[in-house]
Amino acid sequence: MKTNDDYIQQEHEVLEYFGITRINDYIHVQKRVLATLPEEFYGEVLIKENGMAVDVGKRGIKETFGDKRHYEYLPRWFKIAKLATVTEIPDLLRKATVRDSNIDNYHEGKTSKYDYLETETEVLGTECIVGFDIKKTEIKNRFHLHRVEIKKRPEA
């Protein structure tokens, strides 16, 4: 069982990896994540379940750490969890399953639809579900953002 000291060490490693000094400043976090991820991280990923091609680009990474709704208002653990999983997005996407498909994008009328995918993984010693929003357009399917949810609350 993971101890609090283990978690603190893992949190420190995640923040140090990205060079993040201000975890609550989403602009700083976006810049550090984008500066840290290598160019080969970006590109097309094929979902094993259905063969769908998804483009993972800088725009989606920026959005996942983007505004108050997707990052700034999250509790610290979830911020660290998002950071801890961002480097694994291509691998997690490959094994994700479709939870919901062809959902209308109400922000842009009916110009695009979304697929919602999810997969299970361990994050910071806790079983979690990582969800992905995939924006579907006539041109390509684009990774839009990811979120981390606790599957089962850790025992105290």
Q: Convert the pLDDT of each residue in 11-21 to its tens digit.
A: 999 999 999 99
Q: If you count them, how many residues does the chain have? A: 156
Mean pLDDT score, 110-119: 86
Alpha-carbon gap, residue 156 to 151, rounded angstroms: 15
Element (H, E) at 142: strand 141-150
Helix H, strand E, coil C: the string for 35-66 is: HHCCHHHCEEEECCCCCCEEEECHHHHHHHCC
Find the range with the poorest average confidence among 64-68, 127-131, 139-143: 64-68
Alpha-carbon gap, residue 121 to 106, rounded angstroms: 30
Find the range with the poorest average confidence among 18-27, 66-75, 130-139: 66-75
Domain residue ranges in the chain: 4-150
Tell which wins on pLDDT, 109 or 38: 38
Partners of residue 115 on adjacent β-strands = 134
Chain centre distance of CA 132: 7
Mean pLDDT score, 13-37: 95
pLDDT at site 125 = 86
pLDDT at site 81 = 93
Please, what is the average pLDDT of the chain?
A: 89
3-state secondary structure of 50: coil
Alpha-carbon gap, residue 75 to 67, rounded angstroms: 14
